[in-house]
Amino acid sequence: MEATDSEGRSQFAVSFSYTLWRNPDDHADPVNLKHLEPDEQAAIETVPPWPRPAWLIETLEMMRYPQLWEAVRTCWSRDHSEYTNLDRQLVDHANHILVNQFRQELGLAPGPTEDGAWKIRPSSVNSAATLEIDGEHVAAFEINTDPFVYAVGAQLRADVVTTVVVARDHLPYLRLALHTRTPAAS
C-alpha cells in the first residue's frame, strides 16, 4: 500500500503472507492440508484444455494448504497522526483480516461492510505485551480478546510500525517472532 500527497510519499506498507506447515519437516504429510470446500477442490483439480504456466499450477497446489494471509504488515508513515499510532495500526490490521478472512463466521453479507459489532475497538488493545524481534523481546501492544484472531505489534522506529495478525486456530503451530531485513546493497 502506498499513499502520496503534494509533498510526495506519505505512507508505505508491506504485508507478508505465509503457508502454514503443521509438520514443517514433511510437506507431504496430510496433516498439512486444509479442509477444502467442494468448489475449492474443483478449482484445484479441474484441468482446462489449454496449457497452464508452471507458476499457475504451483499457485493452485498451494491452495491445498492453510495460508496466513497478510499476517505481517510493516508500515512507514512520514507524518505522525492518530491513524499512524501503533494501537490504531494494530486495530486496523486485525479488522482487515477479520472482514476478509472471517466473513462467514461473523455473519457478514457479501459486499461492502459498514461499521458493526464485529469490529475490534481500540479499547481491546493491551499495551503491556512483548514481541520477539531479532531475538530480543520488545515492548508491544496486543489484542487477545477476539474469538477469531490474535494480534500483536510493535513500534520499530518513530515512523515505522509492524503488526502481526493470525487466526487463533493457527496459534498452536506458531512461534510469533519477527526478523528485520535490510535491503541488499546494489
Cell reading at 157: 522506529
The answer to whether 154 touches 131, Cβ cutoff 8 Å, is yes
The answer to whether 89 touches 161, Cβ cutoff 8 Å, is yes
pLDDT confidence of residue 16 = 95
pLDDT confidence of residue 120 = 96
Encode pLDDT of 8-18 as tens digits: 898 999 999 99
pLDDT confidence of residue 184 = 67
Confidence band (pLDDT; 50, 70, 90) for 185? low
Average pLDDT over residues 79-90: 93
pLDDT for 172 beyond 90: yes
Averaged pLDDT of the chain:
93
pLDDT confidence of residue 111 = 84
pLDDT confidence of residue 117 = 87
Encode pLDDT of 112-161 as tens digits: 887 788 999 999 999 999 999 999 999 999 999 999 999 999 999 999 99
Furthest C-alpha separation in the chain: 56
Cα–Cα distance between 46 and 48 in angstroms, integer? 6
Q: In this predicted structure, which of 25-39, 67-81, 108-122, 148-162 has the lowest mean pLDDT?
A: 108-122
pLDDT confidence of residue 53 = 93
Average pLDDT over residues 5-34: 93
Cα–Cα distance between 140 and 152 in angstroms, integer? 7
What residues contact residue 152 under an 8 Å CB cut-off, 6+ apart? Answer: 90, 129, 131, 140, 141, 142, 143, 163, 164, 176
Average pLDDT over residues 39-65: 90
Task: List beta partners, residue 75.
Answer: 13, 161
Cα–Cα distance between 146 and 141 in angstroms, integer? 14
Q: In this predicted structure, which of 39-53, 93-107, 136-150 has the lowest mean pLDDT?
A: 39-53
